[in-house]
A and B are shown apart, each in its own frame.
Chain A
Amino acid sequence: MSSEADEIGLPALPGRSGAVSRLMQAAGTHNLSLLLALAVLVAIFGGMRPDVFFLARNIENIGQGIAILGVLATAQTIVIISGGLDISVGAVVGLSTVCIALGVEWTNSPTLAILFGIAVGAAAGLANSLIITVGGVNAVIATLGTMAAFRGVAFIVSDGQSISIFNPVFRMIGAGRLLGLQITIEVLLLVVAAFYVLMRYTIVGRNIYAIGGNPVVARLAGLNVRGYQVGVYILSGAAAGLAGMLLAARTGSGQPISGSDGLELQAITAAVLGGCALTGGKGTIVGGLLGVLILGVLNNGMILTSVPTFYQMVARGALLIAAVLVAEQQARRYG
């Protein structure tokens, strides 16, 4: 967060005041730098592969590529703002794809199957939240443990097999269009819009900022800190369930192994890039979305420019560390 506004001593804007708008002002400068970084990436990859990069098809590819990550990263942003962390989301995505595939097999109803996948994700989030709030286990350790456990459950219920989904609705969701735009991207936009309103315009959202900012203060001010924490992890689980639906639709199958390729790492990277402080209380949905866009362009660009897969992994890890380093520097400077 930049504190330029404070240093210049800007007067309060009439009609727009309070922490949320302060955060928006501050995140505004942060988001500008994210947009700048995005422009640099586009310039680099566009310059290297001008023949392919700017094709509508490629831009749609980028959109497709970030839809799943976008849902996870904006949910992760909320978790981090609340002062937590959810490493288990990748495993929940895999579990959700399996449950949805099984749901289609059992009921032949895509709606029921999708609801089932989201409900399983929410239940996984509830389990996380109880371990963290009632058990008092550190969120990183708790979700690291459940990450392995949820992955195991996905293998158990699927018997380790990939389960194909033969249902036109899923093909429609995975590859179809509505009003000219790909449905996966529309789902992402809906989720982001809902999260944006939640964090920006509701009491629940501002209280999530408060409990992340200082849970002791929040409790003594009368907020139900545990209740909010439980809710946030359920939200994160349900969002992972929804991301599993998108993945199942795209691959036409439920695979227990899916989501294990570092999805949680990328979600956390995007959130931190977007301005989240891992100590909680700070961050924005818009920032998280911009973080996802940067990651998406980076992934796409590295493929287009034939960066070997292993080097791509190194680049993604380095990006997370770099994002945290920058955030730490800013925190130290502006405290």
Chain B
Amino acid sequence: MKKITIIDYGMGNIRSLYNSVKFIGYDPIFYSQKNKIDSNFCILPGVGAFNQAMKLLIEKKISVELEKFIKNKNNMLFGICLGMQLFFDESSENFNTDGLGMIKGKVKKISTKKKDILPNVGWFKTNIKQTKTFNYLSQFDNEKFYYVHSLVAKPDEMTNEIATCEFNGEKFCAITAQNSNIIGTQFHPEKSSKIGLEFLDCLIKNSVN
């Protein structure tokens, strides 16, 4: 059974992610600072605040491990929600905090309009762009996934944005990717019913040997 590493650094609920990975037929293992990442597919989850997450990743020396992990082009790092936002240079949540700096760009509040209801929560249609590297994801174009967030990632380069979703008529980044071995979703595939599980399975199948 293929091993899937789930980073456990104390930010939010990882049990449901564990359950979903197991349900689709893989062997999920938690990683905290004590062991090492010993699989080719690593998931960085996260619910909560950006600054707190970065503090823990640095304290537990996980950020260094992730840097090493992505140096190997056969590995895949997959971020979910806050985990995806952490890939970027910085976030303005609470106060400005440096991120992992793996993808150029910033994380900002989705809206500063007073009337907008936040967090943005629900099932939203997601548009997947045609890309060479992730062409296998195009089958999920127009599907609805479950989102819950108040901030969004804004990649500097459009090539780092491979899917979009809309909030009150404005597009935001739904999936970001860098090279062929870093990808992140703003939505939660592990909470997006059958289609979410298919997405997760498809990503794992296509990205590691």
User: Is B truly associated with A?
Assistant: no
Using a CB–CB distance below 8 Å, which chain B residues touch chain A?
none
Using a CB–CB distance below 8 Å, which chain A residues touch chain B?
none
